[in-house]
Structure 1
């Protein structure tokens, strides 16, 4: 082999080595970027786990308040028209936190917070059908249907209310109103604490 050929082979070998070195450098940069991305993901997951742990700890101490009740605890009941328009829901499905009083029909907020309430009403066409949700004696929301030609009516409504500890929420009939219930639970009242404030 002559020297020119030998030098040409060496130059080509050096060029190949340089190309491979550049390729290795690119791969090292890619690995570095992947490593930085993985570290960022690990940091984010660590932060999320810390937040989940904080929320768990916070919820462990949070008051648990919820109730759900139906008007009739046996047989059939027509409530109204009457002077005492307060609806007293006797069939209590749940009363966690004991905020609902089944002897008065009043829910008293054990703690201040944002509460969610829902209710449903059912009645026949001979009377006004519906009810009003009252907070500390003031009308908040309602359901309503006047006497009509159809056989019966049902409706429901819901609201989120800011309550202070001791605030009272209850349901009342409309003037000259009437609702019906039986063990099928057509006329109901429920509420729960979303979060304390």
Structure 2
């Protein structure tokens, strides 16, 4: 009995011994599992903290990067602004100089335009004067072509002296120098106006000198106009005169020697009678 109990107790003890280790093992396993769970949670938390730390660092890095980029952008903006300001100031300076030069050019251009206007006015005045002169020449040319050309010059055809006479003596200048228009007659000694107009006449006289005197006159239609006179006992004398007369067509002009007077000439043609038409008056 004792052995059997002892055996049972031994068996029970052994069973207890076997059972206790299993419980311990289970407890240890639970502890281990709990520790693993806690360790897992701790590791998860740590990983989470690491992730958060990394995230924070990343955010800080990104923020720093953003700050750096913003700083660089601000620097670039400042540089661009500075460059833009400098460029703007340079452009404004150039624009100012260009406007200044343009103003000077404008002033010179205005002065040139004023000078050109003055030159144009002078040219217009000259053109007007030239046109008037051309019209005058044309009119004169037309009148001249439409009217006879009248001019003559003649001298006494003698080698000696005429006079003294007892009355007025019409002088006949027969030695013709020119007789354009044939208005002077070498037969009568008269010039007959072919057209109404203004005429110029002149005459000269010569006398060898000595006893007596030389005196004569220009006559228009028998009326005395102008005269000459010369007197010397020791040497030769000469005289002359001229007149501008407005004549009608048919008026007659000649030179007459006064009574008791003398006039001389020779091949040198000292005593002459001349005249020509200045312009017609119709």
| Residue of structure 1 in register with 2:224 after alignment | 139
Residue 151 of structure 1: how far off its partner (Å): 1.4
Deviations along 1:133-189, one digit per CA (max 9) or x if unpaired, are 00111110010123x333110111111011111111000112211100112010000
Bigger helix share: 2
Counterparts in 2 of 1:170 and 1:39: CA distance versus 1, 3 Å: same
Mapped pair 1:14 → 2:90: no
- State which drifts further: 97-106 or 41-50: 41-50
Change (3 A) 1:97 1:142: same
Aligned residues of 2:192 and 2:253 also touching (Cα < 8 A):
yes
1:121 pairs, out of 189, 198, 205, with: 205
Q: What is aligned with 1:196?
A: 280
Q: Which has the higher strand share?
A: 1
> What is the root-mean-square deviation in Å for CA atoms of aligned residues?
2.1
For residue 78 of structure 1, the aligned residue among 153, 161, 175 is 161
Distance 1:107 1:126, change over 3 A: same
CA distance in 2, matches of 1:12, 1:121: 93
Change beyond 3 A, Cα 1:49–1:111:
closer
Aligned equivalents of 1:48 and 1:110: distance in 2? 28
**Contact 2:219-2:254 at 8 Å conserved across structures:** yes
In structure 2, C-alpha distance between the alignment counterparts of 1:95 and 1:167, rounded to whole Å: 17
Do 2:168 and 2:258's aligned partners in 1 also have CA atoms closer than 8 Å? no
1:23-34 matched pairs, under 5 angstroms: 23-34=104-115
Structure 2: any 5+ residue segments left out of the alignment? 1-81
| TM alignment of 1:82-161, pairs within 5 A | 82=165, 83-123=167-207, 124-146=209-231, 148-161=232-245
Alpha-carbon distance, 1:130 to partner: 2.8
TM-score norm. by structure 1 comes to 0.87
For residue 47 of structure 1, report the CA deviation from its aligned partner: 4.5
Give the alignment's TM-score, normalised by structure 2: 0.63
Instruction: Give the distance between the partners of 2:171 and 2:200, measured in 1 at CA.
Output: 19
The alpha carbon displacement at 1:125 in A equals 2.8
Counterpart Cα distance in 2 of 1:7 and 1:126: 114
Within-5 A mapping of 1:55-70 = 55-70=140-155
Residue aligned with 1:149, SS: coil
- The answer on whether the counterparts of 2:219 and 2:255 sit within 8 Å (CA) in structure 1 is yes
Residues 117, 192 of structure 1: 8 Å contact kept: yes
- Displacement after TM superposition at 1:26 (Å): 2.7
How many residues are matched? 194
Greater RCO (Cα-Cα under 8 Å, separation 6 or more): 1
